[in-house]
Structure 1
């Protein structure tokens, strides 16, 4: 199996993601990411796959926000689910500026996985906040 803690992406929350994957049958991996696509914590993926998953999940989350603001009255995303032939991908909000992405086999009980994701997020939400990145000032201090 792939390393649970890729180089450069270590977090005290890795064990929580591992617990989620172990509790829900057929769940393969989980990534906690900033809403702009940076890996914060990961279980069950190698570093390249974790980065790719974070980028995909960030894009899906952004599309969900856009759909919500255009058609749903607000941009709050609870969950985005992608159903493939043999895999389910769940992306949910996990705190201010943070998302949780989980890959599972089609055999998984989607309701149980959704519930477990929600319970994980609720139990540690204050620790999942990712502040927005600040733009770096240009040389010379003009800010351009």
Structure 2
């Protein structure tokens, strides 16, 4: 995938309250970004997203009840919320929102995007020496389905 695939995240970027959307590889490289993000900010956000997912997956492995599966990370801060999740093997989806949003709607739209394009489109191949720091396991009870989901 290349930055030419920014169109994939357009529908998510248009959801009420969404400020920025990014799709990045496990090692922090930008795959796609919303038009609201310039190159420097998108690279900084990609590095932040993959770092947070890696740390969160470590917590899941140490303190969770199963393996190291991580479903979603949500960080609320003054003026906004950051949502993170795996989108496919080796790929992370991040959404920054305004402070007042419907978190269920954001999560649902993130899931819709992941299901629409699937593993074959969103997967980022593992580069030599890059650790596999997160997976795209769906949350228990998450909706599944095909392209229209």
TM > 0.5 fold call: yes
Give runs of aligned pairs for residues 1-144 of structure 1, distance below 5 A: 10-12=3-5, 14-22=6-14, 24-43=15-34, 44-72=36-64, 73-125=66-118, 126-135=120-129
Runs of 4+ in 1 over 4 A off after TM superposition: none
Match of 2:146 in 1: none
Consecutive unaligned residues in structure 1, runs of 5 or more: 1-8, 136-144
Distance 2:9 2:78 in 1: 24
Distance 1:74 1:106 in 2: 32
Deviation, 1:77, is 1.2
Distance 1:107 1:49 in 2: 22
Larger radius of gyration: 1
- The structure with higher relative contact order (CA 8 Å, sep 6+) is 2
Distance 1:11 1:100 in 2: 16
Distance 2:45 2:89 in 1: 19
Distance 1:85 1:115 in 2: 23
**Aligned-pair RMSD on alpha carbons?**
1.1
CA shift digits 1:31-50 (9 cap, x unpaired): 00011111111002000000
Decide whether the 8 Å contact of 1:32 with 1:42 is kept in 2.
Answer: yes
How many positions carry a matched residue from both structures? 125
Decide whether the 8 Å contact of 1:64 with 1:75 is kept in 2.
Answer: no
Consecutive unaligned residues in structure 2, runs of 5 or more: 130-149
Deviation, 1:18, is 1.6
